[in-house]
Amino acid sequence: MSVHRSGTARLRRFGVAGILLTAFSLLFTLPSAAATVPARGSAYMGMGIVEHDGQGGTPAGADATQTEGVDVASYQGNVAWSTLWSSGVKWAYTKATEGTYYTNPYFAQQYNGSYNVGMIRGGYHFATPDTTSGAVQANYFVDHGGGWSRDGKTLPGALDIEWNPYGASCYGLSASAMVNWIADFLNTYKARTGRDAVIYTATSWWTECTGNYGGFAANNPLWIARYASDPGTLPAGWSYYTMWQYTSSGPTVGDHDKFNGALDRVQALANG
C-alpha cells in the first residue's frame, strides 16, 4: 500500500509540475494585449501605415510641380520650424484633437510656429468613430483649433480617418455606418466653417471600412497615405490626390508630404 501511495504521489507531483511549466510557458509566450494598445490620445497620421501597407521607396519624379509639406503631432514635441522652412517645407498640418477627449498639448507651438516662419498651415482631427458621433467630433475639432479663417495662410481642417490603434480596424462599424459617420463629420464641419474638410486616409483602409465609397470625392480634397515611390491606386471617386503622405522617416520631422501642385495651388486651397 505504501509503495502504491508513493507512486501516486510522485505522479501527482509530476502532474502539478507539468501544469506549472505550461502556465509559465504561456505567460512568457502569449502576447499581452494591454502592452500593445497605445494610450488614448497618442494616435497620429499614418500610425498604422507601416504595419498594414508597409514602407519602402521614395517618391519618383513627378510630372507636375509638387510642394513639400509636413504633418506633426504631440509626440514630436517642439518642432524646429525654421529648419524645416530652410529645407523647403512650405505647408504643415498639426494634430489638434482626437475623439472628444484629447487636445494636443503642443498645438500652439506647432500650429503658430509653422505660421510664424511663413508656412501655410492647418489642423487635423484623429477620428474615433466608436466613441462619439461625427457631428460631436467635428464640433469638438472646430472648438479646439480646427477652425478656418480667410487669411491666405490657413488650410481647411483635415479628417484623419484610418486604422483604429485601440481596437478593431473599422471601429466596430459596418461600411454603411462608417460612411454615415464620415458624412456627419463633414457636413457639420462645413456648417461650422464654410469649408469642405480634407479627407486623409489609405486606400486599403478606405476599401475595407467604407466599402470603397466614392461619394465624397466631388467636394472633399483627398490626402492619400502611402509610403512608396508613388501614391498607388486611389480610393473610389478620386481621379487625383491633393496631398500625399509619402514617408514617416523624413529629415527633422518624420512625416513628409507632397502637395499636388505649386505653392500657388496650396494658397488657392487656403483661400477657398
Is 143 noted as a catalytic residue in this protein?
Answer: no
Q: Nine-digit cell at 19?
A: 501544469
Is 162 noted as a catalytic residue in this protein?
Answer: yes
Q: Cα-Cα-Cα-Cα dihedral of 110, 99, 161, 248, to 10°?
A: 40
Strand-strand pairing, 243-247 and 91-98: unpaired
Residue 170 contacts residue 130 (beta carbons within 8 Å): no
What angle in degrees, to the nearest 10, is found between the helix axes of 175-193 and 203-210? Answer: 110
Q: Which of 51, 53, 63, 71 is catalytic?
A: 71
Q: Is 103 exposed, middle or buried (0-12, 13-18, 19+ CB in 10 A)?
A: middle
Strand-strand pairing, 198-201 and 158-160: parallel
Q: Which of 160, 196, 255, 257 is catalytic?
A: 160
How far the first Cα of the chain sits from its last, in Å, is: 94
Q: Which of 53, 162, 255, 257 is catalytic?
A: 162
Helix (H, G, I), strand (E, B), or coil: what is residue 259?
strand
Q: Give me the phi and psi of 138, to 5 degrees please.
A: -65, -45
Q: Which residues contact 100 (CB under 8 A, 6 or more apart)?
A: 131, 132, 136, 137, 140
Q: Which residues are catalytic?
A: 71, 160, 162
